Amino acid sequence: MLRALGGSLRAPCTRPPSRALPRSALARLSSTSRAPPPPPTIFAPATGMGKSAISILRISGPDALEVWRRMTLPARGRTQSERTRSEPPVRRAVLRRIVAPDGELLDEGVVLYFPPHSALTAQPTLELHLHGSPALMQLLLRLLPSLGSGFRVAEPGEFTRLAFEAGKMDLTEVEGIRDLVEADTEAQRKLAARQASGQMRAAYDSMRGEAIEAMALIEALIDFGEDEGISEGVYEQARQKAVDLSERIRKYLDDGRRGEILRQGIHLAIVGPPNAGKSSLLNWLAQREAAIVTAVPGTTRDVVELALDFHGFPVHVADTAGLRKTRDEVEAIGIERAVAKAETADIKLCVLPLDELFPSSSSSSSSSSSTSSTAPATPHIDPLTLSLIDPYTLLVLNKLDARGPPTRAQLEALKGYLRREGRRWAGARAGAGPREESDEFALVSVRDGTGLAQLAERLKREVKRRFELSDALEETPIVTHERHRRHLEDTLSSLTAFLELPSDEIVLAGEELRYAVRSLGQITGLVDTEEVLGEIFRGFCIGK
Ligand SMILES: Nc1nc2c(ncn2[C@@H]2O[C@H](COP(=O)(O)OP(=O)(O)OP(=O)(O)O)[C@@H](O)[C@H]2O)c(=O)[nH]1
Ligand SMILES: [Mg+2]
């Protein structure tokens, strides 16, 4: 709706003068082509479009004060001096009557004025704080264009783009604000706030500073080296700077993609053989009947996904089809999807039913404690399930209620079996003593709830260990966007190329360092950003 309105209100674009035009037309056009056209005055609701206590309409551009002059009047009972005020006070809330250009009273609200130097957009900016009526907002959006041809509805992210173009924000801060608006959970909010506050800008600016220093040394060698007898250690100094910077960038890149994963959500897959209790576990995590549970093995066919706020972390949980050999075409597709999900998951919960894991003891489930003296049967896990167990997999042994807790000897046998099969899993430690056993396997009964609180606690520890941010950026270097990672990788390969060059290839060396400086500048938007700007600002809502 808003987009369509904006499209129809867009100012017609001015074309450059054509040679075929008659003289008079050319003269007219050339007089206007000398000065760039004035920027438009853009407007949009800064708050949601639903009913609310207050909604804010933001207007920014050279003609913003026209709205004050033609669509506001002093509030009832105000002094004479306020009646005659032609300009609003700067950055001070004033109560005004809001009127249509034809004089009809529309509302009474608070008006705030930011002159160019204190407005983020660097343009005169007015905010009307109105009663939160969608009808009123719609009406104002229709009325504003009648104030002049320069008025139009803002495009998504246009206010922020003006702030970027005015140098009031860099690209990382812009992305941080967008992420803050999009944040669903506490961890995402924290990450976005860190970025929006300029922490990452500072880090990337200082990296760029280091690259510039190295480049300046090489440039000095190129310009003056031989003639002016610049001291010998200069090339070595530049090399050392490049080595240090490469090290720093490697630390950033080696973050396990924590930032990107946190922003987009942690992917958790529940995998395991059929009938293990995977869907039951999903339902417990979701606290609702999200997936079908039956006693029929192979109940879940497709991936069932849901998004959770898990202790402040955004988690996408996927319940998957039970893994087994099958001739059933539909089930086989489900299993393929399950494997694909598991392979791209950040964390896996592999659910193994105790009664199938230790088959020989199933007949003596009631006397499991007495079986500890006899050698336990070798546990068995289906090869497909086995192949998915990796250091990011928590092993969940389910159906504790049905067969009693496994003996220590059985758990040792299970560990031995997994190790012989070359599997490592989250919490597995060589020679771990009994005290760590609770970390190695989660023993649960999803049916009666035994062990589930401990499992949730264990999962929380795993998520925090891998994704929690420390407050200081240098302690937990983190890359939040794929775009930043790409530029950092480019920087690193330029620095590596520089370091591999023989010292007499000084011109090429200078060129490689220039590439490095350029790639770092692209992260914050200092250079060559036009192609990425559209991409970044498109992600904003109208009014930001
Ligand atoms: N005794 C017992 N039964 C359980 C437990 N957890 C699940 N079940 C039962 O095991 C059966 C299978 O449970 P599901 O959650 O559907 O198992 P699944 O792993 O999703 O099975 P598929 O979708 O077939 O792969 C159901 O009858 C559940 O009620 C448990 O802790 N103890
Ligand atoms: Mg299931």
Band (470; pLDDT cuts 50, 70, 90): confident
What is the structure's pLDDT at 188?
92
Q: How many CB atoms lie within 10 A of CB 376?
A: 19
Residue whose Cα lies nearest atom 9 of ligand 1: it is 277
For residue 392, pLDDT over 50 is answered with yes
Band (490; pLDDT cuts 50, 70, 90): very high
Band (469; pLDDT cuts 50, 70, 90): confident
Span from the CA of 445 to the centroid of ligand 2 (angstroms) = 15
Lowest mean pLDDT among 109-123, 389-403, 423-437: 423-437
Is ligand 1 within 6 A of the CB of residue 276?
Answer: yes
Considering the domain delimited by 172-256+484-539, tell me its CATH architecture.
Up-down Bundle (1.20)
Which of residues 249 and 1 earns the better pLDDT score? Answer: 249
Band (539; pLDDT cuts 50, 70, 90): low
Is ligand 1 within 6 A of the CB of residue 41?
Answer: no
Q: How many CB atoms lie within 10 A of CB 8?
A: 10
25-78 pLDDT, tens digit each: 434 444 445 677 888 999 999 998 889 999 999 999 999 999 999 999 998 876
Share of the chain above pLDDT 90, in %: 67
For residue 473, pLDDT over 90 is answered with no
For residue 438, pLDDT over 80 is answered with no
> Please, where are the H alpha helices in 183-273?
186-196, 199-224, 234-253, 258-264
Q: Which of 270, 271, 275 to mutate to test the pocket of ligand 1 (most atoms within 8 A of CB)?
A: 275
Residue whose Cα lies nearest atom 14 of ligand 1: it is 277
Q: Which fold has domain 264-358+376-467?
A: Rossmann fold (3.40.50)
Give this complex's ipTM: 0.99
Extents of the domains making up the chain: 41-154, 172-256+484-539, 264-358+376-467
Span from the CA of 267 to the centroid of ligand 2 (angstroms) = 18
* Three-state secondary structure of 120-160: CCCCCEEEEEEEECHHHHHHHHHHHHHHCCCEEECCCCHHH
Is ligand 1 within 6 A of the CB of residue 404?
Answer: no
326-369 pLDDT, tens digit each: 999 999 999 999 999 999 999 999 999 999 998 654 444 444 44
> How far, in Å, CA of 313 to CA of 309, rounded?
6
Span from the CA of 437 to the centroid of ligand 1 (angstroms) = 24
Q: Which two tokens stand for residue 12?
A: 């017609």
Q: Which of 348, 332, 9 is nearest to 146 (CA)?
A: 9
Q: Which fold has domain 41-154?
A: Gyrase A; domain 2 (3.30.1360)
Do the first three CATH levels of 41-154 and 264-358+376-467 match, i.e. the same topology?
no
